Amino acid sequence: DAGVTQSPTHLIKTRGQQVTLRCSPKSGHDTVSWYQQALGQGPQFIFQYYEEEERQRGNFPDRFSGHQFPNYSSELNVNALLLGDSALYLCASSLTGDNQPQHFGDGTRLSIL
């Protein structure tokens, strides 16, 4: 039973570029959440997707956007990259509903030069 898988594992970009990160949820899960973890910090909620719709967004600018596909996989897109976007981006999947635990992937390490 595969867990949450994310790709790529590492990525290096320059300021102003655009990036797409990918996530496949754990088998049977239908909800995907994205988090940003800056160095030395706890993860911060970016947004959550369910039934291909964004359900809630954290305090992140519109440069951050996402998508969920019919097979529940998801993408996170970041435009006009800034140095401050350097972080570990974590994807978590769960079953929709109250109190369902979120299962995390190993993340994508994004470095902006």
Partner 1 sequence: AQSVTQLDSQVPVFEEAPVELRCNYSSSVSVYLFWYVQYPNQGLQLLLKYLSGSTLVKGINGFEAEFNKSQTSFHLRKPSVHISDTAEYFCAVSDWTYNTDKLIFGTGTRLQVFP
Number of residues near partner 1 (by CB under 8 A): 27
Return the residue of 35, 68, 93, 110 that touches partner 1, per CB under 8 A: 35
Return the residue of 19, 21, 90, 112 that touches partner 1, per CB under 8 A: 90
Q: Contact between 33 and partner 1 (CB under 8 A)? A: yes
Tallying the residues shown for the chain, one arrives at 113
Question: Is there a contact between 7 and 108 (Cβ–Cβ < 8 Å)?
Answer: yes
Nearest 5°: the CA angle 107, 77, 10 is: 35
Question: Is there a contact between 19 and 87 (Cβ–Cβ < 8 Å)?
Answer: no
**91 pairs with which residues across the strands?**
34
Q: Contact between 98 and partner 1 (CB under 8 A)? A: yes
Q: Contact between 36 and partner 1 (CB under 8 A)? A: no
**Tokens standing for residue 41:** 């910090």
Site for partner 1, rule CB under 8 A: 4, 6, 33, 35, 40-45, 48, 55-56, 58, 90, 92, 94, 98-107
